[in-house]
Chains A and B, each alone.
Chain A
Amino acid sequence: MSVHRTVVLAVPDWPAVAAGIAHGLSTAAPAAVLRAGRIISCNAPARASGVETGLNKRAAQLRCPELTVIPWDPEVDHRVFAAGIGVLEDLVARFTLLSPGVVSIPALSLRRTHASEESAVEELLTGLTDSTGWEFFPGIADTAFAALLASRTATRVPPGRTAAFLAPLPISSLTAVDAHAYAELVPLLGRLGLTALGRFAQLAEADVHARFGTLGRRAHRLARGLPDRIPADHVRAREFRVHSPLDPPSGRSDVLSFHARTLGAELLGTVRAAGLVCTQVDIELTATTGETCRRTWRLEDMDESMIADRLRWQAEGWLAAGGAGTGADSRGGPRTRGARPDRTARTARPDRTARAVPENGEDPGPDPTLVSGEDGICAIGLAAAELLSPLGTQQSLFDQHPGRIAHTLERLQGLFGPDAVLVPGLQGGRDPAETNLWTPWQQRPRPERDPEAPGRARCRLPAPRSSSTPRWICSTSAAPRSSPAPPDSTTSRRCSGSPARGRCAWSTTPRPGRWRPAGGTGARPSTGCASRSSPRTGPPTC
């Protein structure tokens, strides 16, 4: 039997099923998941009422008025599945989570414990359905890709017949592996007349590689029924979490650092004893007022002193921003702090709201009125957020001195706080300020808006786009600056609810006063009106 022969168990319409479970709906209630204005998944009762994927919300609710439409949340997909799949750890020796709702099991590992593949699948399905209540579709084939496609029709492909099974399937089946990577290749192959995987598989491998590159070669191997690579095994779910109360509560960085070092050593010790490597750590601080501050740090070659440094920075930034110790205005958590109307959109982000980020590029420093020496942090907790096997943490040989860059940036973070060093990313949004996703170095980016949503800047804002973020200054009369006002209240990028809104200082984008008609002969306008609308005058391109 081939090493790559795989059993795939898949729950159809997983996002809808997961969202239904997360929202406490009964399995008979129709539910659908909406992403970027389109239904991407709907459960069986919704399908029975005529709801299909690709409809918009209104059309779906027209067909099924009692439909519950839930916005897509990948976190929920993963969380619900991880909670339910724990039972599989008792049933099989090795398995891989291909995506939420799909697990693959090497058929070789079932060989010794079960008489045949059919009986093994029967037993697994019984065990899974008894404990979770979800309906799994099985598929067995010589490769994981073919098994995934076979699970759509609950098929067992006999050994050696995988290529024949794949041949009549449409070329769009490639998107089952990675919809994003093959989004451009699949329509291209279709235009070339290669509508079935079998036609694509007949081409010579060298020609495919020459024309379509590495991605095309991978797709070609998949289409021929050849194994691509061995998937990474599922790491047994075991929580690595340490927690320590601080008695008496303290806001002093040396005390926190000392405790964090002991706690970090304990955490890393248990992780190492399990034969794993921790690459991301969650640091959670609890203040005496009950508020918590939590950040996820990504660290290469983590050791306890690095954890202690991160914890100290996090605590200093949080205390300096008045997150803890201001018992008078305790609002029960970071999320509600960000919901104040005079805060910017950036600070409304959950979990990263603990520190109000000043928008004018200058750090105001700790405000002595907000930190009180008596209050402080009463408990610290560390949790391993990402665990890998030691091989998975190998660095690429071809990176240019990443260690030196990391070292420099860490040093700067130590001097100026973690928010001083930012790496760029893109998220959904309608103007440059919204699409910016600046994440502190070594922290996990948390996009507020889906970068793939149709409202993202690539579609909305036609090129050329400004290279600097425009800033709007609120009229100071709308938000009078009194002494306890947060430092960023008058220079926030945008103030919703503030009626008077002027604009200033586009550094590299055109100012209205500098516009000239193309090829026109008119004299240059002498003065520009600074309060004219932004230069996005064209219609949206999509």
Chain B
Amino acid sequence: MSADPVHAISALTEQLTRLPGIRTASELFAGHPPYAVDAPLRPLFQRGGLPRGEILAITGEHSFSLALAACAAATREQLWCAVLGMGEPAVAGIADFGIDLSHFVNLRTPLQDWLRVTSILVESFDILIVRPGFAPTPGDRQRLLAKVRERRMTLITLDEFPGTGERLGVRDVRWEGTARGAGRLEQCTVTVHGSRTGTHTLLLPAPSGRAEHPAPMPGAEHSVPAVGVAHPGGPVPRIHSVD
């Protein structure tokens, strides 16, 4: 006669509960809702928001802007966001992304101490944007990941970071608004490749300063190959997956 099935399940539950970062067994299945992001950025993430308990890598030329735009909605919900290793960001630009400045902190610590500072900040902040000063050893990486998972916060690195969950790469950056010798830069179209969600195109920043869906352009199919977008064959990609 085997053990009582109810008893076996409760033993399993207890065992799971003892794992670091898992407080109740149901948490394992239900998970935590991701942190909210602005509507145009939702398709970029697998669960429609910033994944919690994971390291998210954003790479490419426009990565800092994308990271700021992604955490804007969360700071407006009174969550705290810290930036590490970015020197002196421009406050006006940060405010344009919709970030609540009273929940935003910039850290100017020596680059070689980034891992130490990050491990302190992980304890209390909800979102961290970090430019690593050096590549950590695999052991450090595992410890950091375990801490992030336990705290259920989001760590965004602006560099390649092995072992990350989602990865977003900003591939193509195209500024618009200048004609030949006239006008000024008004918006920027970027192509973002998500490791789990495919390729998306969005305006970052749009004329308002925030991230937005690109406007449908009549005759865009013809202009696309001419300026050499990453997708020479198809029409202009407007938030659709090409997986």
Q: Which of B10-18, B22-30, B37-45, B204-212 faces chain A?
A: B204-212
Docked-complex contact A508 and B180, CB < 8 angstroms: no
Q: How far is the CA of A433 from the CA of B88 in the complex (A)?
A: 9
- Whether A535 contacts B108 by the Cβ 8 Å rule is no
Residue-wise, chain B 152-191 has the 8 Å CB interface mask toward A (1 for contact) of 0000000000000000000001111111100111111000
Known: A464-B188, A535-B184. 5 other contacts (CB 8 A): A361-B108, A362-B110, A465-B92, A469-B87, A515-B178
The stretch that binds A, out of B46-54, B96-104, B136-144, is B96-104
Q: Tell me if B175 and A510 are in contact (CB < 8 A).
A: yes
Binds A, one of B1-9, B58-66, B194-202: B58-66
A-B pairs with lowest CB-CB distance, top 5: A538-B184, A464-B205, A432-B90, A467-B93, A463-B209
> Does residue A476 face the partner (Cβ distance < 8 Å to B)?
no
Residues B97 and A467 in contact, CB atoms below 8 Å apart: yes
Could you mark each residue 338-366 of chain A with 1 if its beta carbon is under 8 Å from any beta carbon of chain B, else 0? 00000000000000000000011111000
Q: Is the CB of A423 within 8 A of B104?
A: yes
Determine the distance from Cα of A462 to Cα of B170 in the docked complex, in whole angstroms.
24
Query: Complex Cα distance A259/B62, Å?
Result: 50
A397 near B: Cβ within 8 Å? no
Closest to A419 in B: B108
Give CA–CA (A404, B121) in the complex, Å.
10
A360 proximity list for chain B (CB < 8 A):
87
Q: Give chain B residues whose Cβ lies under 8 Å from the Cβ of A404.
A: 123-124
A-B contacts counted at CB < 8 A amount to 185
Contact status of A464 and B120, CB under 8 A, knowing A421-B107, A514-B173: no
Residues in B with CB closer than 8 Å to A536 are 184
Q: A422–B107 Cα gap in the complex (Å)?
A: 6
**Interface membership of chain A positions 362-377, coded 1 if the CB is closer than 8 angstroms to chain B and 0 otherwise:** 1100000000000000
Is the beta-carbon distance between B91 and A520 smaller than 8 angstroms? Answer: no
Partner of A516, one of B79, B126, B174, B205: B174
A435 at the interface (CB under 8 A from B): yes
Chain B residues within 8 Å of A466, by CB: 90, 93
For B113, the chain A residues whose CB sits under 8 A away are 416
Q: Is the CB of A465 within 8 A of B64?
A: no
List A255-292 residues whose CB lies under 8 Å from chain B: none
Contact with B along A518-530 (1 / 0, CB 8 A): 1111001000000
Shortest A490–chain B CB gap in Å is 16
A436-B90 CB under 8 A given contacts A405-B80, A468-B64, A515-B178? yes
Q: List the B residue with the shortest CB-CB distance to A440.
A: B108
Among A64-72, A202-210, A298-306, A406-414, the stretch in contact with B: A406-414
Contact pick for B106, options A398, A422, A457, A462, CB 8 Å: A422
Please, how many angstroms separate the alpha-carbon atoms of A363 and B107 in the complex? 12
In the complex, which residues 381-438 of chain A have their Cβ closer than 8 Å to any Cβ of chain B? 398-401, 404-405, 407-409, 411-412, 416, 419-426, 432-433, 435-438
Q: Give the distance to chain A from B5, nearest Cβ to Cβ, in Å.
A: 41
Q: Kindly name the residue among A399, A404, A412 whose own CB sees the greatest number of chain B CB atoms within 10 A.
A: A412
Chain B residue, CB-CB nearest to A363? B110
User: At the interface, is chain B mostly helix, strand, loop or mixed?
Assistant: mixed
| B171–chain A nearest beta-carbon distance, Å | 14
Interfacial chain A residues near B135, Cβ < 8 Å? none
Residue of A359, A400, A508 near B62 (CB, 8 A) is A508
Binding site for A on B (CB under 8 A): 61-62, 64-65, 68, 78-80, 85-97, 101-102, 104-111, 113, 117, 120-121, 123-126, 173-180, 183-188, 205-209, 223, 226-228
Q: What is the distance, in angstroms, from A19's C-beta to the closest C-beta of chain B? A: 30
Nearest CB on B from A539, distance (A): 8
Contact, CB under 8 Å: A421 / B105: yes
Mark interface residues in A453-492 (1 if CB within 8 Å of B CB, else 0). 0000110011111111101000000000000000000000
**B90 lies within 8 A of A464 (CB):** no
Q: Report if A432-B227 is in contact (Cβ < 8 Å); known contacts: A420-B108, A517-B178.
A: no
Contact A436 B91 (CB under 8 A): yes
> What's the least CB distance linking B34 to chain A, in Å?
17
Whether, in the assembled complex, A496 has its beta carbon less than 8 Å from a beta carbon of chain B, the answer is: no
Question: In the complex, A471→B180 CA distance in Å?
Answer: 27
Instruction: Decide if A537 is an interface residue (CB 8 Å cutoff).
Output: yes
Residues of A within 8 Å of B85, CB to CB, are 361
**Contact (Cβ within 8 A) A422 B92:** no
Q: A441 on the interface (CB 8 Å rule)?
A: yes
Q: Judging by beta carbons under 8 Å apart, are B91 and A437 in contact?
A: yes
Contact (Cβ within 8 A) B97 A423: no
Separation of A507 and B88 alpha carbons in the complex (Å): 11
> A435 and B96: CB pair below 8 A?
no
Say whether A408 contacts B125, CB under 8 Å. yes
Select A537's contact among B64, B174, B178, beta carbons within 8 Å: B178
Checking B68, B110, B120, B124 against A467 with a beta-carbon cut-off of 8 angstroms, the contacting residue is B68
Q: How far is the CA of A471 from the CA of B111 in the complex (A)?
A: 18
Determine if A422 and B105 form an interchain contact, defined as CB atoms under 8 angstroms apart.
Answer: yes
Question: Whole-angstrom distance between the alpha carbons of A360 and B61 in the complex?
Answer: 20
Whether A514 contacts B175 by the Cβ 8 Å rule is yes
Question: With A408-B125, A518-B179 in contact, is A435–B92 under 8 Å at CB?
Answer: yes
Contact between A465 and B209, CB atoms less than 8 A apart: yes
- Least distance between A466 CB and chain B CB atoms (Å): 5
How near does chain B come to A364, taking the closest CB pair, in angstroms? 10
Q: Verify A520–B107 contact, CB threshold 8 A.
A: no
Residues in A with CB closer than 8 Å to B180 are 517, 520
12 residue pairs from A and B, CB less than 8 Å apart: A360-B87, A407-B124, A412-B121, A421-B105, A421-B108, A424-B94, A426-B91, A464-B96, A465-B90, A469-B90, A508-B64, A520-B179
> What's the minimum C-beta distance from B208 to chain A, rounded to whole angstroms?
6
B131 shortest CB reach to chain A, Å: 10
- B111 surroundings in chain A (CB, below 8 A): 361-362
Chain B residues closer than 8 Å to A521, beta-carbon distance? 223, 226-227
Contacts of B94 in A (CB 8 A): 424, 467
Report the separation of the CA atoms of residues A474 and B61 in the bound assembly, to the nearest whole angstrom. Answer: 25
Report the separation of the CA atoms of residues A411 and B206 in the bound assembly, to the nearest whole angstrom.
38
Instruction: List, in ascending order, chain A residues with CB within 8 A of B89's CB.
Output: 424, 436, 467-469
Query: Are B93 and A416 touching (Cβ within 8 A)?
Result: no
Chain A residues whose C-beta falls within 8 Å of the C-beta of B184 in the assembled complex: 462, 535-538
CA distance in complex: A359, B87 (Å): 8
**Distance of A409 from chain B, by nearest CB (Å):** 7
In contact, B175 and A515 (Cβ under 8 angstroms): yes
Contact (Cβ within 8 A) A438 B106: yes
User: Which residues does chain A contribute within 8 Å of B177, judged by CB atoms?
Assistant: 518
- Which residues of chain A come closer than 8 Å to B107, judged between CB atoms? 412, 420-422
Q: Specify the chain B residue showing the minimal Cβ separation from A426.
A: B91
CA distance A317 to B213 in the complex (A): 47
| Cβ contacts under 8 Å, A510 to chain B | 175, 185, 188
